[in-house]
Amino acid sequence: MGQDWQNPHYGYYRQQQKRLILALAAFLLIAGAVVAMLLRRGPEPAAATGPGAPGRQPLHAASAPRRAVQMETNAAESAADPVQVSPSLSRPGPTVREPRPAADGGAETFAGHKALALSLYRQNDLAGAQEQAQAALALRRDEELIELLLKLRREIQVQRNYDDARTAHFTVLFDGYEHEEMKVAVLDILKDAYAGIGKELGHFPGEPITVILYTGENFSDITRAPGWAGGMFGKVDGKIRLPVQGAFGQERTLRRVLTHECVHAMLHSLAPAAPLWLHEGLAQYLSGDRAVNVAQVIPLPMLAGGFPGDARAAYAAYMVSLQAVSDLVDERGMPPLRRLLNELGAGKGMEESFAAAYGMPFSRWARQWRPVERGDGPETEPGPEGDDG
């Protein structure tokens, strides 16, 4: 029998107390494990805002500056007074536009817009070239771009309804109503010229050449060429321009002029720094012209950068150029001439390039050169071609 003061339910209460203590201990162990795990992981990192920062990045964070730049570009472009342009003018241009430069008002932005304007002009994307030229002029005045805009306005007006025919090596733009019959003949001549000239030069351009066919009036308005010019190649835009009104049925003349201008285009892609006398002499030689004597022999160094505008003096310049190239080819053949062009294309000067090809500096050869005696020719008619330099 137990003591009088002892509670008869003491054993039951003692059991319940033990259970409570065990449950509390288990809870404390679990809570401690959770706290320890959280402490090991550390706090969640803040969202990163810079490139390369750890952790998660906010959606479109990198694209925000681009949107701001594009807004600045649009503002700079809208500052110029635009000319209304038919959307169809973009058709002859490239299918993929080059990236536009950012417009931040600095010198590099102006240079980028100008370079892109000239590039698009070479690809005959007239609307795009005009847009970029205006964006550049909104930042800085530039005489070359002002002149380009004047050209673009004239060309956009003339080409607003032009069609185009394309081959692997040429894009021919023409008035579908005026020149549809000429298109096939022109493409055939260009195909033959490309193969023959490329074989002689040992060079085929990587990009298609643009050829634009005009009426005589439009040709004169666009090129500002002298009245005796029968065609023109532009070094700035790389295009051949040709007046073909009335040329149907004159295939021999058309072939000669087109071949001449193709030589200019293909030679320019090979050796852009070739002197003008070499350009014109080689273009005449490869198009089938033959040199004749002229009363006035102009020193070749004077014909490196330009020809006279007067018809009689221009004829003498063309013929002296043809005589020089003919003498070089007749005496040594085409391989040294190809070597000369390749050296020029590699960025070397005329003196060094000529010495590598012919064994003496150009200045010495030019001083002692005298044209081979040939038959006399007319002295009043210049060659049928021009060059806008």
pLDDT over 50 at 102, yes or no: no
Residue 212 has pLDDT above 70, yes or no: yes
The answer to whether 356 and 345 have CB atoms below 8 angstroms apart is: no
Tens-digit pLDDT profile for residues 240-267: 998 876 555 677 888 999 999 999 999 9
Per-residue pLDDT band at 340 (split at 50, 70, 90): very high
Residue closest to 387 by CA, chosen among 325, 305, 322: 305
Q: Which pLDDT does position 74 carry in this prediction?
A: 34
Residue 15 scores a pLDDT above 90:
no
Where are the strands (E) in the chain, listed by range?
A: 162-166, 170-175, 209-214, 232-233, 240-243, 386-387
> CA 187 to CA 165: how far, in whole Å?
9
Coil/strand/helix, residue 323: helix
Q: Of 74-88, 139-153, 234-248, give the range with the top mean pLDDT.
A: 139-153
As a whole number of angstroms, the distance between CA 223 and CA 235 comes to 12
Q: Which CATH number fits domain 167-387: 1.10.3720.10, 1.10.10.10, 1.10.390.10, 2.40.50.180?
A: 1.10.390.10
- The answer on pLDDT for 211 being more than 80 is yes
Where does residue 228 rank: exposed (0-12), middle (13-18), buried (19+ CB within 10 A)? middle
Which residue shows structure tokens 């806008």?
A: 388
Residue ranges of the chain that CATH labels 1.10.390.10: 167-387
Q: What local confidence, expressed as pLDDT, does residue 57 receive? A: 32
What mean pLDDT is reported for the chain?
76
* Cβ atoms of residues 190 and 169 within 8 Å: yes
Residue the block writes with tokens 């892609």: 269
The string of pLDDT tens digits covering residues 28-59 is 767 666 666 655 555 444 444 443 443 333 32
pLDDT class of 372 with cuts at 50, 70, 90: confident
Strands 162-166 and 209-214 turn out to be unpaired
Q: Does the pLDDT of residue 209 top 50, yes or no?
A: yes
